[in-house]
Amino acid sequence: MAVLPAAERRLVVLVSGSGTNLQALIDASTDPSYGARVVAVGADRDGIEGLARAERHGLPAFAHRLRDAPTREAWDAGLADAVAAHEPDLVVLAGFMKLVGPAFLARFPGAVVNTHPALCPSFPGTTGPADALAYGVKVTGATLFVVDDGVDTGPIVAQAVVPVEDDDDVASLHERIKVAERAMLVDAVGRLAREGYTITDRKVRIGA
Ligand code: GRF
pLDDT digits (tens, 9 = 90+) for 68-123: 999 999 999 999 999 999 999 999 999 999 999 999 999 999 999 999 999 999 99
Positive or negative CA dihedral for 108, 111, 116, 118? positive
- Ligand 1 atom closest to Cα of 20? 14
pTM over the 0.75 mark: yes
**pLDDT grade for 2, boundaries at 50, 70 and 90:** very low
- The mean per-residue pLDDT over the stretch 171-189 comes to 98
Span from the CA of 58 to the centroid of ligand 1 (angstroms) = 22
Pocket test for ligand 1, best of 97, 178, 186, 189 (most atoms within 8 A of CB): 178
User: What would the mean pLDDT of 125-149 be, rounded to a whole number?
Assistant: 98
Which pLDDT value is given to residue 97? 95
The whole-number pLDDT of residue 6 equals 54
d(CA 160, CA 140): 8
5: pLDDT strictly greater than 60: no
Q: Which residues does the annotation mark as catalytic?
A: 116
Mean pLDDT of 157-164: 98
Residues with a CB atom less than 6 Å from ligand 1: 15, 17-22, 50, 94-95, 115-117, 178, 181
pLDDT category of residue 34 using cuts at 50, 70 and 90:
very high
Nearest CA to ligand 1 atom 6: 95
User: Domains plus CATH for the chain?
Assistant: 2-206 (3.40.50.170)
